[in-house]
Amino acid sequence: MEPRPRSFYILTGFFVLFLLFLYGPTLTIGILSFQGPGGGLTFPMRGTSLHWFRELFEQQAVGDIWGSFRRSLVLGLMVMTTTVVVSVIGGLAFRKRFPGSTVLFYLIVTALVIPSILISLGVGLMFDQAGMTVHWSTSGYGAQLTWTLPFGLLIMFAVFNRFDKSYEEAARDQGATAWQTLRYVVLPIIAPMLLGVALFGFTLSYDEFARTLLTSGSRNTLPLEIYGMTTNVTTPVLYALGTLTTGFSLLVIGTFITVTTYLARKRARAASDAGKGLV
Partner 1 sequence: MSETIGEARKSRLSLSAIADKIAANKAVSGWLMAAPLALVLLLFLVIPIIMIAVVSFWRATEFSIIPDFVFENYEFLLTSPVTLTVFINTFKYAIVTWICTLLIGFTVAYYLAFHIREMRWQVVMFLLCSIPFLTSNIIRMISWIPFLGRNGIANSTLISWGVIDEPLEWLLFSDFSVILAFVHLYVLFMVVPIFNTMMRIDKSLVEAARDAGATGPQILWNVIIPLTKPGLMIGTIFVVTLVMGDFFTVRIMSGSQSANVGRLISNDIGLLQYPSASATAIVLLITVLLIIGILLRFVDIRKEL
Residue list 191-250, contact with partner 1 (CB under 8 A):
199-200, 203-204, 207, 209-210, 213-214, 223, 226-227, 230, 238, 242, 245-246, 249-250
Among 20, 187, 253, 263, binds partner 1 (CB under 8 A): 253
Contact flag: residue 89 with partner 1 (CB under 8 A): yes
User: By CB under 8 A, which span of 13-21, 54-62, 63-71, 268-276 interacts with partner 1?
Assistant: 13-21
Among 23, 57, 167, 184, binds partner 1 (CB under 8 A): 23
Helices (H), the chain: 6-32, 51-56, 59-62, 65-94, 101-113, 116-129, 141-161, 166-173, 178-181, 187-207, 222-232, 237-269
Q: What are the b/e assignments for 242-271, b being 16+ CB within 10 Å?
A: bbbbeeeeeeeeeebeeebeeeeeeeeeee
Task: Tell me how far, at minimum, the Cβ of 81 lies from partner 1, in Å.
Answer: 12
Q: Distance (Å, rounded) from C-alpha 244 to C-alpha 56? A: 10
Q: Distance (Å, rounded) from C-alpha 62 to C-alpha 106? A: 43
- Phi then psi for residue 274, to 5 deg, are -55, 135
Residues 33 and 52 sit within 8 Å (Cβ to Cβ): yes
Task: Tell me how far, at minimum, the Cβ of 265 lies from partner 1, in Å.
Answer: 13
Contact flag: residue 143 with partner 1 (CB under 8 A): yes
String marking each residue 90-129 x if it binds partner 1 according to CB under 8 A? x-xxx-xxxxxx--xx-xxxxx-xxxxxxx-xxx-xx--x
For partner 1, the closer of residues 216 and 245 by Cβ is 245
Contact flag: residue 81 with partner 1 (CB under 8 A): no
Contact flag: residue 262 with partner 1 (CB under 8 A): no
Residues 87 and 148 sit within 8 Å (Cβ to Cβ): no
Contact flag: residue 48 with partner 1 (CB under 8 A): no
Contact flag: residue 167 with partner 1 (CB under 8 A): no
The closest of 223, 185, 78, 203 to 141, measured between CA atoms, is 78
